[in-house]
Structure 1
């Protein structure tokens, strides 16, 4: 797997979380690359800190595909980010909100 595959997945997870934290609000995305790797950062205005949900084994019997819960079977985003990144975390922004970030090494 190439680092761009991991970067795409990490960016997708962080952006999804930012959109969920501030529905209809502004988010910001920043990506940079140098010899040390790729840094992905996403800002949202919510003061709430990112919290991974407990990872549970999901089976077809426990998957809730009802219309009201169709998109609520997730919760694996932050553990995926942590598994793919060399380091990750969040940093409060002095002007409000927070940056969730991940550093991927080649």
Structure 2
């Protein structure tokens, strides 16, 4: 028979500590990149994330979404998933998942190249980033983290 935790052992959350976790599922289409930027910018405003952090997060999300759109050659109907989590310490983690299993590798673009700088931007501007195969499924997840805490402390 399941037991119910007593009130003294049940963690209490203040209204500001509600889960800050949102996911968007979009078609693998060029328009999804702009939509993801808009959705993230709106979500960051509602969570009161500092503007500088928001702009960096939007830029990096745009790079990861663009890579997923351009390079994840998959069957029609596959989606790109973008997820954003802001934890209680003010750590922002953004992930982009697609159905292609090839893990991205940063490269050095020449001055003449019109693309190829996205992961270098992510590596330079994010506090941490990485890519891993999708657990138990097809594809991969590419992620980055930023410190979104305000000067007054954690969000």
Q: How many residues align?
A: 93
Normalized against structure 1, the TM-score is what? 0.78
1:88 equivalent in structure 2: 129
1:98 equivalent in structure 2: 140
Q: CA deviation at 1:21?
A: 2.3
- Conservation of the 8 A alpha-carbon contact between 1:32 and 1:39: yes
Deviations 1:37-89 (A, max 9, x none): 21000001101110222132x2xxx46xxxxxxxxx11000010011111100
2:52 equivalent in structure 1: 2
Q: List aligned pairs for 1:24-63, cutoff 5 A.
A: 25-34=78-87, 35-56=89-110, 58=111, 62=112
Give the Cα–Cα distance (whole angstroms) in 2 for the partners of residues 86 and 27 of structure 1: 23
Structure 1: runs of 5+ lacking an equivalent = 64-72
- Conservation of the 8 A alpha-carbon contact between 2:109 and 2:115: no
2:69 equivalent in structure 1: 19
- Conservation of the 8 A alpha-carbon contact between 1:88 and 1:102: yes
Give the Cα–Cα distance (whole angstroms) in 2 for the partners of residues 3 and 39 of structure 1: 12
Normalized against structure 2, the TM-score is what? 0.55
| Higher Cα Rg, which structure | 2
Structure 2: runs of 5+ lacking an equivalent = 1-50, 149-155
Higher RCO, 1 vs 2 (CA within 8 Å, ≥6 residues apart): 1
Misfit runs of 4+, over 3 Å: none
RMSD: 1.7
